[in-house]
Structure 1
């Protein structure tokens, strides 16, 4: 049973989503909150697989909330469910190791896919969000120069980034690491989003700058 907690400041939407998800086989909403502070009060006692979270809450800024969530539950899997489409929001949030970002107009099937993907240890970003968006969006990208690489990227992400820089194809990386090609493709997209670059060239520049490759 996949256990969820939902935080959203729109009560009717929150109640409707809770009812809808509780009708899905293998999914159970164990609780909800209308504010960030309410979530933080309940969080220490929660035993959940995924936290569904809206970007904008009335009582706390999104980054402040994420910092507090991570101090309480460093390994908690977080899926943002929001109307905010701009990639600048994603880039601002991924440095706190969120696991997914989905738009509220997504279908229930995509939401279930995102939840099961995240619960299974992978990440999921909405199909409607192009993480290789316009240059204007990337003006708001995260900066990482003052952070250690291993604070930003997981060991697996560093491993895949290194192989990408060595010109391995997705299929070659998948074969070498015993992963599916789709998993490698997801990691590649996540790396681009997390590092705030536009393409593979940007990944290589990051790897060179941080001495991941010679």
Structure 2
């Protein structure tokens, strides 16, 4: 049985989803919430397998913030974003926040049922055109020499070292500035290159320029 929590600020939407999903194909709706704050509290209390999360909730935490916080306390719970926004920015931010899936409210109910079962089993789910958008972003990264991870995957220390390396500081100079050993700086630098999929220092400098990290005033 898949334990499902519905988080949406519209009562009529929650009621409709309850009627549509509860008892269907092994799904049990164990609770509802009207905003992100309530959603987090209910999830911690009820331990659902899947949280069906709306993005735009004006009162309390929005869906993105709630998703990020919920994944920290319940990393095993899958979060499926159910939204009216067919927008790549929302899509990308949702995936980065830790959502396992993204589906539109205009989708047929059979597709919603399949999406819930998919994320509950540990798989990801995206509506068809969303896959095209993610592939488009990936291909653009390759084109721009950014075929690795994103800047957000770097630790704060790694971001510091990325900026300093791009500005031309040597490993020794960085070590002195950050009060680290040269070996530690070299290790961080290697991790930065690996995470971002970069092979050479010129690639790293190009990446830093695009990210606006070459401000020499500080």
TM-score range, shorter chain: 0.5 to 0.7
Over 3 Å counting, the alpha-carbon distance change for 1:148 and 1:75 in structure 2 is farther
- Residue 37 (structure 1) aligns with: 37
- Residue 162 (structure 2) aligns with: none
Deviations 1:152-176 (A, max 9, x none): xxxxxxxxxxxxxxxxxxxxxxxxx
Over 3 Å counting, the alpha-carbon distance change for 1:82 and 1:206 in structure 2 is same
- Residue 15 (structure 1) aligns with: 15
Q: What is the Cα deviation at residue 47 of structure 1?
A: 2.4
One of 134, 153, 157 as aligned partner of 1:147: 153
Q: What is the Cα deviation at residue 29 of structure 1?
A: 0.5
Tell me the distance in 2 between the aligned counterparts of 1:109 and 1:66.
24
Q: What is the Cα deviation at residue 25 of structure 1?
A: 3.0
Q: What is the Cα deviation at residue 148 of structure 1?
A: 4.3
- Equivalent residues, number: 151
Deviations 1:34-84 (A, max 9, x none): 111211222221121110000111222343322321222122100001100
Query: With CA pairs under 8 Å and 6+ residues apart, which has the higher RCO, 1 or 2?
Result: 1
Q: Which runs of 5+ in 2 are unaligned?
A: 141-148, 156-193, 201-218
CA contact (8 A) 1:55 1:81 kept: yes
- Residue 174 (structure 2) aligns with: none
> Which structure features the higher share of helix residues?
2
Over 3 Å counting, the alpha-carbon distance change for 1:12 and 1:61 in structure 2 is closer
Q: Which runs of 5+ in 1 are unaligned?
A: 150-204
Tell me the distance in 1 between the aligned counterparts of 2:76 and 2:106.
27
Determine if the alignment matches structure 1 residue 209 to structure 2 residue 198: yes
Which stretches of structure 1, 4 residues or longer, exceed 6 Å deviation after superposition? none
CA contact (8 A) 1:50 1:76 kept: yes
Tell me the distance in 2 between the aligned counterparts of 1:64 and 1:23.
29
Deviations 1:114-151 (A, max 9, x none): 1111111110001243325878xx8xxxx8225249xx
Determine if the alignment matches structure 1 residue 57 to structure 2 residue 66: no
Alpha-carbon RMSD: 2.8
TM-score (norm 2): 0.61
